[in-house]
Structure 1
Amino acid sequence: MRYILASKSPRRREILGNIGLEFSVVTADTDESCSLTDPIALCEELALRKGLAVRELLQSKDELDPEDVIISADTVVECGGHILGKPADRQDAKTMLELLSGKRHRVLSGIALSVGGETYVSHSESFVCFEELSDADIERYLDSGEPYDKAGAYGIQGLASIYVKGIEGCYFGIVGLPINELDRLHRRALGRSLLG
C-alpha cells in the first residue's frame, strides 16, 4: 500500500510530511470549471475530481494497486455570497482582497480519499477575520507574488498572516488540507488512523 497525494500544492505536501506520512505526489489535469453555486458542494466536487483524475491516470498506466490510497483536496473561500477560488490575475486578486478587507469570511476545504474503488468525501469549514487593508497593504501584498496560487488570493501561513485578526475552526483546513478530517476519512475507509 502506498499513499498518493493528488495535489501540486507545496502546503499540502508539507502538512502530510509533518505527520511523518510517506507518500508520492501524482497530479493530473482536472477540469475545475463547475456550475455548482454551493461552496461546500463545490469544494467537495473539485476534491473528488482531482482524486478520480489521478486514479484514472494511474489505472491507464497500470500503476495503481488496489490498496493504494489517493488523497485529494480543494479549497474555496466564501465572503458575502461570493465564492473565491484562485485569482486569474493581479486585478482578480486585488478585487478578492478588497472584498475580504475588514471582514469575517468562510474557508472550505473539500477532501477526498480513494482506496480500492471506494471514495470517501468530506470537508472542513473554518472562519477567518481580516483586518482592514489599505490600498498600500493590498498593493504590497500583490507585489509579493504570494496571492496568485491560493484560494481567496491569500495564504494564512505566509505574509498575509499579519492581516489575520482571528480564526475559528481548523487552521490546516484554511491552509488547504484539513488533516483531522482526513484522519476521520482514513479511519472510515481503512479502520485505523493515519498514524497507524
Structure 2
Amino acid sequence: MSSSFLLASGSPRRKELLTLLGYQFDIIIPNIEEQQNTGELPQDYVARLSREKAQAGLVLAKAIYPHLSLPVLGADTIVVIGHRVLEKPVDYNDSKNMLQQLSGGKHQVMTSVTVADHNRFKTTTVVTDVWFKVLTESEIQAYWQSGEPCDKAGSYGIQGIGGRFVSRIEGSYHAVMGLPLMETDLLLTDFL
C-alpha cells in the first residue's frame, strides 16, 4: 500500500478534494451514529462527529491492516440556521421545509476535520456563512426531483444544481462542499 493516510468517509466530494491536493490515500468507512446530543451546540456536535469518525477509522484500520499504522482523517459537515442543525432530509416534505427555512436568508455551514493516529488527534472546524436567494415552490420541487438533495446536509449541495440558490458566501467554498482545503492540508502535514 502506497497510501500515506486513510480517509474515514464514503463521500465522493471529500475523495475528489483530497485527490486535488495530490495525496495518496485509501478509504475506510466506519459506522458512526450521527445524532446530536441534547443541549450539544452545533460546533461541538460537528467536531465530535469528525473525531468519532477518525477514531472509529483507527479501530477499523487496525482490523483491516494489522501491520500498518497510518493516520486517519475523519470529517463531517452540518448546516445550521439559528442554533438548529439541518440534517439530511428524510423525504420530500423534510427537504422542502429545510429549503424554505434557507430561502432568502443566511445560514452557516460548519465542517470539522480530524486527523488521528494512535498517539494523538487534532481537530479543526471551519464555519462559512451562506446566503440563499428566495426560492419558489416549483424550484424546490424540481430540485428534489433531481435527486441531488437526498443525501446532503441541509438538503442542498453547493457544488451541484444547488449552487444556483447561493447568492454569496463568506468563508471557504470547499468547506461547504465538505472539506476545507487549506485547513485539511495543514492538519495532514502535521501528521505525515
Same fold by TM-score greater than 0.5: yes
* 177, 180, 184: which one aligns with 1:178: 180
Query: Measured at CA, do residues 64 and 7 of structure 1 come closer, stay the same or move farther in structure 2, by a change above 3 Å?
Result: farther
Equivalence map 1:149-188=2 (5 Å): 149-188=151-190
Report what 2:49 is aligned to: 46
Q: Are the counterparts in 2 of residues 120 and 189 from structure 1 also a CA contact under 8 Å?
A: no
- Letter aligned with residue 57 of structure 2: V
Aligned residues: 189
* 129, 132, 154: which one aligns with 2:131: 129
Q: Are the counterparts in 2 of residues 76 and 107 from structure 1 also a CA contact under 8 Å?
A: yes
Report what 1:57 is aligned to: 60
Q: Are the counterparts in 2 of residues 79 and 105 from structure 1 also a CA contact under 8 Å?
A: yes
Does 2:12 correspond to 1:2?
Answer: no
Partners of 2:119 and 2:150 in 1: how far apart?
Answer: 34
- Letter aligned with residue 114 of structure 1: A
Does 2:98 correspond to 1:96?
Answer: yes
TM-score by length of 1: 0.91
- Letter aligned with residue 50 of structure 1: K
Percent sequence identity is 34
Shift of 1:90: 1.9
Q: Are the counterparts in 1 of residues 58 and 71 from structure 2 also a CA contact under 8 Å?
A: no
Greater shift after overlay, 52-61 or 149-158? 52-61
- Letter aligned with residue 48 of structure 1: R
Partners of 1:129 and 1:106 in 2: how far apart?
Answer: 9
Paired residue secondary structure (2:131) = strand
Shift of 1:34: 2.9
- Letter aligned with residue 172 of structure 2: C
Greater shift after overlay, 179-188 or 152-161? 179-188
Q: Deviations over 1:124-182 (max 9, x none)?
A: 01011000000001000011000011111000000011111001001110000112111
Shift of 1:92: 1.3
Shift of 1:183: 2.0
Segments of 5+ residues of structure 2 without an aligned counterpart are none
The CA RMSD over aligned residues, in Å, is 1.5
Partners of 2:110 and 2:67 in 1: how far apart?
Answer: 29
Does 2:117 correspond to 1:115?
Answer: yes
Q: Which runs of 4+ in 1 moved over 4 A?
A: none
